[in-house]
Amino acid sequence: MSVDERMQQVVREVIGNDDLVLRDDMTARDVPGWDSLAHINIMYSLEAEFGVQFSDEQLSSFQDVGELRRFLASAAG
């Protein structure tokens, strides 16, 4: 699976929406259910999926899905 697909699968699993399609310009606000608790769950699950570790700041600083995806692609690639 590509980085995009793996990332989408993690977010789908955590949010509980198997039809969710992520786009780069999305923010948490655009995704129903992506609240502060889900955010922590998502960040942790992405770390587990990609074998990466976000910095303290990154846990809350990604601007949108695109920035998060690009980081994962570069860190896991």
Q: Is 19 in the site for another protein (CB under 8 A)?
A: no
Q: Which C-beta is closer to another protein: that of 24 or that of 37?
A: 37
CB atoms within 10 A of CB 6: 15
- 54 vs 16, 30, 76, CA distance in Å? 23, 22, 12
Q: Provide, rounded to whole angstroms, the least separation between the CB of residue 34 and another protein.
A: 14
Q: Provide, rounded to whole angstroms, the least separation between the CB of residue 19 and another protein.
A: 12
Q: Is 16 in the site for another protein (CB under 8 A)?
A: yes
How many Å apart are CA 3 and CA 40, to the nearest integer? 20
SS3 39: helix
Residue with tokens 């998502």: 42
- Contact footprint for another protein (CB under 8 A): 10, 13-14, 16, 18, 36-37, 40-41, 44-45, 48-49, 53-54, 56, 59-60
